[in-house]
Amino acid sequence: MRRRARLLLLLPALGWVVQPLNSTTPEWAVAVFPSGAEFSLEIAADPESRRRGYMFRERVGSAEGMLFMFETSTRHGIWMKNCKVPLDIIWLDETFRVVDVVADFQPCPDQGDCPARQPIEVARYVLEVAGGTTEREGLKRGDVVVILSDPELR
């Protein structure tokens, strides 16, 4: 047993990543916009990480983002509760085609309503990046975002 534990600790150092069997959630991802801009992505694939999202973050870097993964395609609503910075919200279908964008979505006030926004079409993924990114990069509905990950998303 001790030998197996040492082996499991050594595998990452050798470049091997130990993943649970049947794991389809990537440990990392990179989004590439049609402009060529690349974004290192955090993955939000379970209910708790999707609920938390970018809450309480003081900043989102210009080359950072968060990919929300859902089991099914629907009109997934997004809100800005407890967010500190404006975000661009990008809904993607199962082929990573942009189905809708809300640019520069502002944080909710500390008091009062915090409305959710929904896309005009069903989506499988939601990508959040720093506010102003979609305008700077010229991303629009119908564009395709390349998502590189291991394992590959389908």
Which amino acid makes up residue 75?
R
Report the percent of the chain where pLDDT is more than 70. 84
> 134, exposed or middle or buried, with CB in 10 Å at 0-12, 13-18, 19+?
buried
User: Has residue 141 been placed in a domain?
Assistant: yes
Domain that holds residue 56: 22-149
What CATH number should be reported for the domain holding residue 42? 2.60.120.1140
Q: What is the mean pLDDT of residues 138-151?
A: 96
Least trusted range by pLDDT, from 18-22, 58-62, 78-82, 120-124: 18-22
Structure tokens at 87: 């975000």
Angle, alpha carbons 133-37-118 (nearest 5°): 40
User: Has residue 6 been placed in a domain?
Assistant: no
Give how many domains the chain has, as a whole number: 1
Please, which pLDDT band fits residue 153 given cuts at 50, 70 and 90? confident
User: Has residue 17 been placed in a domain?
Assistant: no
pLDDT per residue as tens digits for the range 4-32: 333 333 333 333 333 332 357 887 899 99
User: Has residue 12 been placed in a domain?
Assistant: no
pLDDT per residue as tens digits for the range 87-121: 999 999 999 999 999 999 999 998 989 999 999 99
